[in-house]
Amino acid sequence: MNNWQRAVLIMQRPINLKKRKRLPIAIQATLFETLADLLGNGFSFQQAFQFAVDVEGPAFQSLQPVLVRLAAGDELSTALRPYIAVDLYYQFLIAETHGELRHTLTQAGQLMRARAEQARQIRRLLQYPCLLLVLLLGTLGLVKSAILPSLDAGSSVSGTIPPWQWIGGVSIVILGISLLGLGLKVKHLPIRRRYHWLARLPLVGPLIKNYCGYYLSLNAGMLLTGGLGIRGICEVSQQFQPKALIYQQGQVVERALLSGASLMTIIQNDRLLPDELALLVGKESPTEQLSQELLYFATLQYERLIRQLNRLISWIQPVMFGVIALVVVGTYMSLLLPMYQSMGEILK
């Protein structure tokens, strides 16, 4: 039984979602980076994993079952299957089949590390604006509950809420409910359809497109390295679990090829795939050269994705301060204007 036959048998095993114990992003980053370094220094999978569990402390103790699976002869991707995302599992499985696991672990660790660092950066950037917002809302509640009632008691101005406040409040509630419903609907879409929908959004769209370009180019490059053609890649992808992105993408590409469309046209018409990918395919390079170009292109897409994420994060504080400015204006309109009216009534 060759590597691909064994890999296909592994792919066909169902994933039990009830037993999934997804590791936190920061722990995944540390684990993948440590394994990649140890594998590069001559450790076996089992030795590297044992070292990581022993050295990293209590956070890694939940991974003891992985050691049991590795000792029983399972591959690393199979042993980690309950602890990582489905698409990441298939990425590791393909990398193992073609001897690229160390490189893939390094890139996955870097990506997870960047995600964890960006999450910390987002929390840090939100601390000061959120504190200002809380103080402002606290001041708003204090004035509303303590100061305005005493002014209203000495004036003839009605304490009813102005129509514009009713309209604004109802609009915010309707908008919040609509966004929540839309988010739940998008969350339950198949992953490819979800990405297609998100790719239309102005800020999130480029991120989704770059991630899909990175993920699909990397896997296609590794599969081409194994000697598979485009049709072979599509056939292999159909052995994956239906909820995996690579399965759904392979299904779409195979149907389009069977209908007579060229691969270059398919890529150009797919919102999830970058235009540069069509140029690489359109050159009709030999398979070995194309596989290397796709792997290098995946690295470029990864670097572009990280830069875009950092650029998007840099806009968080300006947007939050803009929200605070709107709250200040709303506070002025809802509190200060009635106060001026009440004071005017008192002075008459």
Would you mind telling me the total number of residues written for the chain in this entry?
Answer: 348
Please write the tens of the pLDDT for every residue from 54-63: 887 777 878 8
Kindly give the residue spans of alpha helices, DSSP state H, lying in the chain. 3-11, 25-40, 45-56, 64-71, 76-80, 86-97, 101-142, 148-153, 163-187, 191-198, 204-225, 230-237, 245-258, 263-268, 275-282, 287-313, 316-331, 337-347
> Which tokens hold the place of 286?
């030999």
Please write the tens of the pLDDT for every residue from 272-301: 888 888 888 877 778 778 888 888 888 888
Domains of the chain: 3-110 (1.20.81.30), 194-313 (no CATH)
Q: CA-to-CA distance for 100 and 295, rounded, in angstroms?
A: 11
Please write the tens of the pLDDT for every residue from 15-69: 444 445 778 888 888 888 888 898 888 888 888 888 888 887 777 878 888 888 8
Residue 151 has pLDDT above 70, yes or no: no
Please write the tens of the pLDDT for every residue from 164-215: 556 766 777 788 888 888 888 888 888 888 888 888 888 888 888 888 888 8
pLDDT of amino acid 1:
43
The DSSP letter of residue 73 is: T
- Residue 108: band (very low, low, confident or very high) from pLDDT cuts 50, 70, 90: confident
Highest-pLDDT range among 131-140, 153-162, 242-251, 282-291: 242-251
pLDDT of amino acid 180:
84
Q: CA-to-CA distance for 38 and 43, rounded, in angstroms?
A: 5
- Residue 137: band (very low, low, confident or very high) from pLDDT cuts 50, 70, 90: confident
Residue 98 contacts residue 219 (beta carbons within 8 Å): no
Please write the tens of the pLDDT for every residue from 293-338: 888 888 888 888 888 888 887 887 788 778 778 777 776 766 666 6
Residue 12 has pLDDT above 60, yes or no: no
**Average pLDDT along the chain:** 78
Residue 340 has pLDDT above 60, yes or no: yes
The position carrying tokens 């840099």 is: 314
